[in-house]
Structure 1
Amino acid sequence: MEVADKTLSMLSVGSNDDLYIRRQSTLFRELEMLLDLNPRELSSNLLALPRELRSLILEYVLPEATRDTRPELHTNLWGADMIHEPWRHDVFGYGRQVPKVQRLHPNLLLVNKQLRNELLACYFRRSKLTLHAELRNSRGNNWHFDYSPHILQLPMLPCVSHVRFYVEWNYTISNPTARIDDQVRMTKDLIQAMDTLLNPLEAVETIELSILFFWKLRSGKFYPLSMQDLFDLENVFKANAEPRWLRILHSPSPSSSSSSATAAAAANKKSDFLSPDTHSAGVGYKLSSEDKGTEQSGGMEIFVSRDLEESMRARRKSSADFFGNYEIADPLPHPGYEHGKMI
C-alpha cells in the first residue's frame, strides 16, 4: 500500500475502492500544491457562487464605513532603490487613528487565498488607501527620475485614493542662463515617471508631492534656493504639470478612453466613496527656502486634490526637515519578502 501512494501511475488500472480513494486524495493534494491553494479552498461552497454574488456577501462581513469614517490604510514606502529585492506586494498597514472595530478580523483572511484577495479588494474600495513612493534623480543623471518597479505589481493599485510622492531632486547648474529650460526638462521627466505609476489608479482623489531640492553649482558648491527661485519653479509646475494633474483628478482612470458614463461606472466599482464632484479641485503649494548649515537647497510641497482645502488642512506644519529626511505621521508597514523566494 505504501508503494501505491508513491507510484500512482502504476495503479491507474485495476485499483480497488481503497486504493482509488487514496489515489484521489493524493491527486487533490498535488493539485493544491500546483495551484498554491489552501486545502479548504477546493471544498468552499462560497467559491461555487458567481463572483458578483460573492462580492455582495463579502460586503456584509466587512466593518461599516462611510465617506467620513473610512479607515486610513497605507502601503510601505517604496524607495527608489528598492529594485531587485524579492518583495511581497500586498503589504499594507492601518493609520494610527483607525479603531479596532474598523479593522479586518485576521480570521477572515485565513479562509483561503482567493477569498482573501476578494475580501481585501472589497475592503480597499471602501478605505482611504495611500500609496507611498519615492522618485529620485541622481547627481550623475539629472534628467531621469527613478522609482521602484515593484509598485506596478501592487494588487491594490486600482483602489488607491491618495498618493504621496517623496521626490529627491538633484541638479547641477552648468549654465545659469539655461536654468529655467533645464527645470522644464526635468519637470517633464518627473511627470512622465508619475504618469507611469498613476496609470493603473482608477480612484485618485489626492496627489501630494514632498520635494527636497539638492542643487549645486558646476564647481560642486552648494546652491541655496531663494524664494524667487522657488517662485520660478512654481511657475514651471503651473505651466507644465498642473493641467496634466488636474486631468487625472477629473478622469476616473488616466488611461481611460471610454465615454464619461462608462468611466464613471468603472470608478464606482473601484471606490465606494469616490465623489465625481470636482468643483473644489485645485493645486496648492507650500515653499521652503534652505536652512543655514545644511546641504539641502530648499523644499516644496505640492497638493493636487479634488478638495484642495481639505487636503492642505492637515499640512499646516512642515512635514520635511532640512537633512533630507521626510517626516511621516503614520507608522508605515515594513515590506515583506515574497514567499518561497531567496534573497
Structure 2
Amino acid sequence: MRALSVITALLVASGVLAGCSDAPASQDAAGARAPAGPVTMVVPFAAGGGSDIAGRAVADGLVSVTPGLSVNVDNREGGQGAVGYSYLLGKAGSPNYLLATETSLLSLPASVEVAFSHRSFTPVVKLGDDYTLLVARPDSPITSCADAVAQARTRRVLAAISGAMGPDAVVFSQIRATTGADLDTVPYEGGGESMAAVLGGQVELASLNPSEVIGQLRAGELKALCVFAEQRYTYPELADIPTSLEQGVDVAFAQFRGVIAPGGLHPQAEQYWVEAARRFVDSPAYRDYVASEFLQARPAFGPEFGAYLAHAQGEVEQVVSR
C-alpha cells in the first residue's frame, strides 16, 4: 500500500492518471509513412538498468541495418515507468518515436489507474525473455532464495526492485502468494539504483537482470542466490546459479524485452518499423545483444507481439490482483 501511495502521487504530479493524458504532441507527423529526421528511443527508466541497456542496443542496431537512420536515446524516468509511457502516448501518429518496453507496460495498468494500456501503442518487436536473479552482498547471512523466504518469516528483510509495479514486483507478489513470506520491497527507478542500494547496504537483497549484475558477480561484489526460472541458464557464467524451483520456492517469471511505437501510426509507418526490426533480428548486432544481455532469444513482430502482450496481460493481472 505504501508503494501504491507513492506511485499514485507521482502519477498525479506527472498528469498521467486516467482522464489527464496529454493531447497528441505530434499532430504535424500524424499520417506520416516513415520517420523524417532523427528518431527518439524513449527509455522509461533511469540510465544504467536493463531497459536503458536494451534501448541503446536496439537504437544502435536499428541504425546499423537502416541506412540514413538516426536514433537518439531519451531517458524519461518517473512514476515507475509511467512517465515514459505517458510521454509516448502523447506522440500518437508520429513514426519518429520508439520506446524500449518491458513488463511494466502490463503491470502498471493492472495496478494503478493510468491512461494507457498495451493497446494504446503499436507493437513493433519482442526481442526475448529476461529472467531475474536474486542477489545479495557476499557477507550477507542469507545464502539462498529459500533462506530469504525463511528469514522473512521471522524478521524484516528489505529487497530492492526496479519499479513498484514492474516485473520485480510481480516476482515478489508470487513469493508472497506461494510461500506466505512477505519480503519488504523498496522500489527504485531502474536497476542501476537497485544495484547501488544493495552494494551500499541500504537493502539486503535486490532483484536484477543478469546483464545488470554480471560485472559485480564476476568481481565477487555480489552473490546470486537463485534465478526465478523453470530451468537454469545455459550461459557458462550463469549455469551454476540454482533456480528458485530447485530450492522449493515455486516462483518463475520471464520479463520480456521489446520495442513499441506510438499508437495511431499509418500502416506504412508500422510496416517500416516492423521491417527494420526484422533486419535487426537477422543481424549480428541482435545476436551480440542477446548474448551480452543473457536473454532467451524469442522474437515476435508486429501483430504476433501484440497477441503475446494480450495473453501476458491476463497472466500479470492474475498475479497482481492476489
Give the structure with higher Rg (CA).
Answer: 1
Return the TM-score normalized by structure 1: 0.26
Report the TM-score when normalising by structure 2. Answer: 0.27
The structure whose RCO (Cα within 8 Å, separation 6+) is larger is 2
